[in-house]
Structure 1
Amino acid sequence: MVSRIKRFLIGKPMKSTDIEEEKLGKLKALAVLSSDALSSVAYGTEQILLVLVAVGFAAVWYSIPISIAVLGLLAILILSYRQTIFAYPSGGGAYIVAKNNLGTTTGLMAGGSLLVDYILTVAVSSSAGTDAITSAFPSLHDYRVIISLVMIAFLTILNLRGVTESASILAVPVYLFVIAIFILIIGGLVKFVTTGFHGSVPELGTAVNNISLFILLKAFSSGCSALTGVEAVSNAIPNFKKPAEHNAAATLVMMGVILGSMFIGISFLAYGFGIAPDPKVTVVSQIAEATFGRGAVYYIIQIVTALILFLAANTAYAAFPLLAFMLAKDKFMPHMFKVRGDRLGFSNGIIMLGVLSAVLITAFQGDTEKLIPLYAIGVFIPFTLSQLGMMVRWIKLRPPGWTAKLIVNTIGMITTLTISLIFIFTKFHQVWMVFIFLPIVMFVFMRIYRHYTNIADELRINIERDKPQMKGSTIVIPVAGVTRVVLNSISYAKSLSDNIVAVYIGFDDEEIQKMEEKWEQWNPGVRLIVLRSRYRSVMKPLIRFIETVEWKTAETDHITVLIPQFITKHWWENILHNQTSLLIRAYLYNQKDVVIATVPYRLHR
């Protein structure tokens, strides 16, 4: 039943040789890896306006120069990550760059930040998509958490079906969103030509009281939330068709051009229409209503905006499993993240991402405003470390034209570092948990690495010196009576060794006498050892006996504890029986250097 449901949801397993068919071309990669960055135009301008209107509506004109400054940073990041793609064509982005140039600890900081950022990407995208829906349909506002969780489940299943299939499905809404936003921008510009600016809009250069450089920097850093997701292409180079690095670089540039055009267009429209942020209506929704009214075009824009905000989470589904794979390959994450699933994706990473983002949505009740600062600081830390790592690389290697490349990365590093510090100082009450969670993540990485290193050292053998030792085998069979289950176990034991002993633990003299008489009458050719338990415990007498046998025969024999167990026809019938065999097995696995085996006997009624 479970297998049929899995096949229905995920599809049939794919051959390992089909991996090349799962690679992405530029257009599909743009849909999968750029959806996060492109979707951020739906809330990037809004984040700028939220800071400015706190000073006064007259300050909204600053949104234009701030948006232009954000565009400048976008250009620097695109140039920088394009350099990273060609320098590190195996992918990994900030983690690999920082690890190779700044050291393992710094690399883990970048990698941990990116993992946290991808979890937040899913949470922010799904909650922002829900906000777009509730803006158009206010009656759904109380169900925003449920809507977000349903979409996370949908994206998780979609990605478990494979990269190519998810890309084919995602391409349609992503490109519909791009078309819709450009229609909105063109429509708004036409309206400006015919009707002019909104009457209450302050002119550019209007003097504003109480405005300060700190406020402007805070607005700029908030607007830089529109740049989240830019790094995803450099992280996921292995997902591209060959030549992977050239296709990735072209996709990155296309994303930058589209993102920059849409962002500045939305910022200009918001200023021109005199839009102010509203907790229940998004800025894009207000612009669409001001341009087209609440007609069919408005609802189409809202629907595709909601879709792209939901599906922006798919960028994380493409990048998180790959980054987890690289960390696992370096022994900093569990090896399960290196395993490809039935559809050739890193299924464990996909599932883990879905679960953790669902927990975040539930904890924050789907509030986008509370999540975005965490989201932004999580991405700007890797931005900064990646830029710094590339600076060190150019200084060390000094390839042709390295000076220009160093200048680009230096400007990028200073800018992203400044933004990170502004976020920390202005929104510390919202981002403080990152400074607790990130060191914990790094500590866990190091403990995992130490564990794998210790195991490798302990299990490593000297091929020339270490050879298997030939020993006999003493088999201990715990028995509870004379049954077919015991008969089955003894029959199997006799095929392995002649040195077999059965152990029975009795609680009173009468039942012990009955057992001894019945065993003697049956005479299976195996010695029965009877142990008395005054406190009705099976475990303690059995463990003491195994310790005695182990002490006497450890030099000459392997000790095997063979546990008889019957398997009921229906799963619920297990509840009707005590689980002594499970307790024995669990204890011995954790405490004793003995072989533990279970001999099943299946019941048919």
Structure 2
Amino acid sequence: MLILDNLRRRLIGTPLPTSAHHEERYSNAEALAILSSDALSSVAYATQEIVLVLGMGGAAALPFTLPITVLIVGLMLIVASSYRQTIKAYPLGGGSYRVSQQNLGQGAGLVAGASLSIDYVLTVAVSVAAGIAALTSYFPGLAAARVPLCLLAVLLVMLANLRGVSSSARFLSLPTYLFMGAVVTLLVAGFIKMGLGQLPPLPLAEQQRLLAAAHQGSQGLQAIGPLLLMRAFSSGCAALTGIEAISDSVAAFKPVEWRNARRVLGVMVLMLALMFSGISALASQGGLVVQDNGPTLLYQLGDRIFGDGPLLFVLQLATLLILLLAANTAYADFPRLSAFLAQDGFLPRQLCSLGDRLVFSNGIFALSGLAGLLLVIVDGSVSRLIPLYAVGVFISFTLSQAGMVVHWWKLRERGWRSRALINGIGAAITAVVAVILLISKFTQGAWVVVVAIPLLVALYLRIRTHYDDVALRLRLATDGPLPLPAAPPAGGGIPTVVLVGQLHRGSLEALCFARSNASELVAVHVDLGGGRAQALREQWSRQLPDIPLEVLESPYRSLVDPVVAFVRRFETLHRKHHEAFCMVVLPVFVTRQRWENLLHNQSTIRLRQALRERGTRVVTTVGFYL
């Protein structure tokens, strides 16, 4: 245990007190780097995916790259305008899940939550796979180790996020700004060369040869029709993923939160539109062709504009770093979304607990595990992940904007009609795009997302049913004084400590057992924050006035350390009175099904182990059967 604790401290740092939570906020510059990395990094593969699909229609289809890009940029501006409204209306964050739940009902909220959860896992997988593709484009010899490199990248990003907001912000800001500078330099140099006639397009014969090689083994070229263009458009819509991240994390900004969040959103969308449009324009003018798992489009542009020199290396390095770290947007938002769902009882309660560094550590671990598994399944291929991508996020876009329309209609404040109109237009357009994505990507893998969303919603509802059943089972029959057995006669029993999280039937049974065996009885509650301690004190004084309650402060949110320290003092005191034994009683739940143990904090196991390691001789658990 001690060795593992030391290793954890070295990797993620020493614990931070809860009082430091308000200090763990993003400045605008840090927020642009952290929360925009997903959206900004998508320019490294969004145009590439458009070209890859259009290539199925032959050289004649490639000129459609720029018109499709213009449509996507227009959609980008509409979605951003809609989310500006959401940020001000929901300054505490919550994004699509909270907006949909509060305005459209529980079902819509859970669909939005499931859609976003899937998309965040895909964000990590796509970003990491694309980053490793940038690396293997520059170092082709590493292609065989693609999957292990992807898993290593997930591990590194996970560790960076476990260190906390401030540490990860300092670590992640530089690559984002390096990438933005490298791409802007590429675009400026590219347009200058194009204006001077030094960037001629590929000859038609060369284009056709590369397209034939790229689609070797497929059933020939496809006709340039609506379905092909829809598929290209839907693949390019990957550029919009990540726009919602800022509205999900408004509470992570420094005051005034909503105003700073809107400023960062505006800068992000402006940079995203400029970089995406510029790359598409240069790729279209050059007639570039992309092969699956071959050199990336951005690498080809860099090679043509910069040549094989240091600027090309910087571009690829910056692309690698931001794509690896674009996963950080999901790491910023997935744990927060999971915490919202857990607070509402739809996911295990452990997901709302803050870790040592004031981050939702359990959510970070869950996201890393799911993304790593997905990367292994698809063999680290970006093209196999893209058909799954963006479907979920556009469903959540639609629900969020529809929820905002209802929100404005309910409030009917001054100017509500114009705000509702903006969100209504956003909802209608994103709904159309969601349908296009489903139709064009369904057979390529989007059906997986269509199946996964209702399965996730069913899981959420099953977990909520379990928690509701447990709450009903634990409810006390009365709000008045509670009956307890008589204490042992004078000289009988042993000094006893009972750990109490809440006052319910489970803890009452543990107290009854302890009272019947204790010469001296004290109940102990650890205040982990959240304002529950004061409510427990009031309930305790009303229902169990004869049993002393000790509330232990825990500024570092540890349950084990304060209890162990209290028990040590308690035992020391009673040894002075020549009492050989003290007893610690721990209430525990006994679930019907083994899997239900995952829904409850297993802190009793860790606490019992820690007490025994430190010399407590009698540790008793009292089971309450659910």
TM-score, L = length of structure 2? 0.75
- Maintained 8 Å contact 1:198/1:274: no
For residues 601 and 54 of structure 1, do their structure 2 counterparts lie closer, same or farther at Cα, with a shift above 3 Å needed? closer
CA deviations 1:501-558 (Å, max 9, x no partner) are xxxxxxxxxxxxxxxxxxxxxxxxxxxxxxxxxxxxxxxxxxxxxxxxxxxxx99x97
CA distance in 1, matches of 2:107, 2:516: 44
2:509 aligns to what?
A: none
Partner secondary structure for residue 145 of structure 1: helix
1:398 aligns to what?
A: 412
CA deviations 1:46-91 (Å, max 9, x no partner) are 1111221211212211111111111111111111001000111110
Partner secondary structure for residue 467 of structure 1: coil
CA distance in 2, matches of 1:218, 1:265: 21
Q: CA deviation at 1:263?
A: 0.4
CA distance in 1, matches of 2:296, 2:61: 19
2:363 aligns to what?
A: 349
The residue type equivalent to 1:440 in the other structure is L
CA distance in 1, matches of 2:613, 2:404: 63
- Maintained 8 Å contact 1:273/1:290: no
Q: Any residues of structure 2 matched to 1:444-593 within 5 Å, and which?
A: 444-465=459-480, 467-471=482-486, 495=494
CA distance in 2, matches of 1:153, 1:464: 49
Q: CA deviation at 1:351?
A: 1.2
- Maintained 8 Å contact 1:201/1:273: no
Q: CA deviation at 1:559?
A: 10
Alignment counterpart, residue 131 of structure 2, candidates 129, 132, 151 = 129
Partner secondary structure for residue 427 of structure 1: helix
Alignment counterpart, residue 316 of structure 1, candidates 330, 333, 337 = 330
Q: Any residues of structure 2 matched to 1:213-252 within 5 Å, and which?
A: 213-252=226-265
CA deviations 1:371-420 (Å, max 9, x no partner) are 12212112111011112111222333333223332332233222222222
Q: CA deviation at 1:453?
A: 1.9
CA distance in 2, matches of 1:396, 1:210: 49
Q: CA deviation at 1:590?
A: 6.5
Q: CA deviation at 1:441?
A: 1.1
CA distance in 1, matches of 2:123, 2:481: 51
Note the residue ranges of structure 2 that are not aligned, 5 or more in a row.
205-220, 497-511, 519-585, 593-604, 616-626
Q: CA deviation at 1:422?
A: 1.9
2:525 aligns to what?
A: none
Alignment counterpart, residue 69 of structure 1, candidates 65, 68, 71 = 71
CA distance in 2, matches of 1:588, 1:386: 38
Alignment counterpart, residue 80 of structure 1, candidates 56, 63, 82 = 82
CA distance in 2, matches of 1:436, 1:404: 37
TM-score, L = length of structure 1? 0.77
Note the residue ranges of structure 1 that are not aligned, 5 or more in a row.
203-207, 474-491, 498-553, 561-584
For residues 448 and 305 of structure 1, do their structure 2 counterparts lie closer, same or farther at Cα, with a shift above 3 Å needed? same
Task: Determine which structure has more spread, i.e. the larger CA radius of gyration.
Answer: 1
For residues 589 and 330 of structure 1, do their structure 2 counterparts lie closer, same or farther at Cα, with a shift above 3 Å needed? closer
Q: Any residues of structure 2 matched to 1:40-79 within 5 Å, and which?
A: 40-79=42-81
The residue type equivalent to 2:407 in the other structure is R
The residue type equivalent to 2:269 in the other structure is G
Alignment counterpart, residue 159 of structure 1, candidates 158, 161, 165 = 161
1:548 aligns to what?
A: none
User: Does residue 378 of structure 1 match 2:380?
Assistant: no
CA distance in 2, matches of 1:590, 1:257: 53
- Maintained 8 Å contact 1:324/1:333: yes
The sequence identity of aligned pairs, in percent, is 41
Q: CA deviation at 1:169?
A: 0.8
For residues 199 and 446 of structure 1, do their structure 2 counterparts lie closer, same or farther at Cα, with a shift above 3 Å needed? closer
User: Does residue 141 of structure 1 match 2:143?
Assistant: yes
For residues 177 and 154 of structure 1, do their structure 2 counterparts lie closer, same or farther at Cα, with a shift above 3 Å needed? same
CA distance in 1, matches of 2:450, 2:243: 23
For residues 333 and 88 of structure 1, do their structure 2 counterparts lie closer, same or farther at Cα, with a shift above 3 Å needed? same
Partner secondary structure for residue 269 of structure 2: helix
CA distance in 2, matches of 1:57, 1:394: 48
- Maintained 8 Å contact 1:270/1:287: yes
Alignment counterpart, residue 408 of structure 1, candidates 400, 409, 422 = 422
1:28 aligns to what?
A: 30
Q: Any residues of structure 2 matched to 1:172-183 within 5 Å, and which?
A: 172-183=174-185
The residue type equivalent to 2:187 in the other structure is I
CA distance in 1, matches of 2:492, 2:143: 66
Alignment counterpart, residue 119 of structure 1, candidates 103, 121, 128 = 121
Q: CA deviation at 1:112?
A: 1.1
CA distance in 2, matches of 1:457, 1:236: 34
2:457 aligns to what?
A: 442
CA distance in 2, matches of 1:242, 1:271: 43
